[in-house]
Amino acid sequence: MDCKMTEAAKPPLTGLRVLDLSRILAGPTATQLMSDLGAEVIKIERPGKGDDTRAWGPPFLKDADGNDTAESAYYLCANRGKKSLALNIASAEGQQIIRELAAVSDILVENFKAGDLARYGLDYESLRDVNPRLIYCSITGFGQTGPYASRAGYDFLIQGMGGIMSLTGEVDGPPTKVGVGIADVMCGMYATTAILSAVHARAASGEGQHIDVSLFDSQISWLINQGTAFLTDGKPPPRRGNEHPTIVPYSTFPATDGDVILAIGNDGQFRRFCEVAGHGMLADDPRFATNVARVENRAVLVPLLGEITRTRSVDDWVSALEDKAVPCGPVQDLEAVFSHPVTQAREMKITLPHPVAGSVDLIGNPLKMSGTPVAYQGAPPTLGQHSQAVLAEVLGKSQAEIDRLAQDDIIEKDRTP
């Protein structure tokens, strides 16, 4: 899908300005979502280097000649629709520019270690004096308070410390992390929810507020049923591979040409599966007739089902079971995912113009809103791509002043050919 901004319907956050001092993944995930929803997002980056993830490759986006650009796939995943201002905030003039931007912004998102920005006079208390309506969101590893407040947080570390790795992996295998930075991503989602809640509260109070959200807290919150199971019976849940702790059968099973997922959530579905499989008597066996019984006897049932499923192909099972409303499906690699007709119909792969590569393929936004749909405001920016425009259009600085800031290495202008 080729995506262009349309004037027909404005996205819901149109008119909000976000000052984005975050980098890596949690903060950029939140600010990219707000950009898709219509907010103007000004991304502050270090001159010369930019967001750390720009260099986290390969793979890198290719230019028109097939050469690597300065944008890694990792950077591209969370930075579309933003304006890049390359600014040295370690300098007094750079700090003053942040204050000026904060004065005309609605939201500020940062993920520095707790207390770091106070050294520059850019903490919440300082900027609240500049703009009492500012909603200031701090994203850290372990929060602004508590014994680990000074520690840095990283997704892998948080997955381990926050419990999800103890639940992930094969029964007899080692603890295993999720294959993407899910602790970062979920923290970004919680941050977005908090920010938009604060925007709503501000409409009534006229006041901004400080939001303290951490990767560790977020990770614990999405332990969901497994975390609550421990709080209920005091027993740490074991790893179960692809199996569900309280539903059976709910796992991957071998087929002749791969693995098929069975996600059978009730007794009627189990009976229909058994009938399709030609083993209707299993649904009448008291060991397997109810979900509670199947959970208690999973060690017997799961191997039996594996012997049955390995007699047909994945497509055969999917075709036969979908016709009977039994949840099932293939385990797809990403090539299959992005070529899937549902992916295409749901516009989950998008193509945006890019100043160096010509175009860039990205993952689409999953929000489908009938009255105020999302709109992609542009590709992930090159470093400093909007330095000139932000200083001139947002802060009203003259060309001579902008040139002087560049000459003094306070800012970096766009170096795109």
Q: Sign of the C-alpha dihedral, residues 268, 272, 273, 279?
A: positive
Per-residue HEC secondary structure of 147-197 comes to CCCCCCCCHHHHHHHCCHHHHCCCCCCCCCCCCCCHHHHHHHHHHHHHHHH
Q: What is the DSSP string of 345-413?
A: HTT-EEEEEETTTEEEEEEPP----SSS------SPPPTTTTHHHIIIIIT---HHHHHHHHHTTSEE-
Q: Is 240 exposed, middle or buried (0-12, 13-18, 19+ CB in 10 A)?
A: middle
The active-site residue out of 36, 106, 184, 217 is: 184
**CA–CA distance, 75 with 73 (Å, rounded to integer):** 5
Active site residue 184: yes
**Are 110 and 78 a contacting pair, CB within 8 Å?**
no
Both structure tokens of 141: 């590893």
User: How many CB atoms are located within 10 Å of the residue 211 CB?
Assistant: 22
- Residues that are catalytic: 184
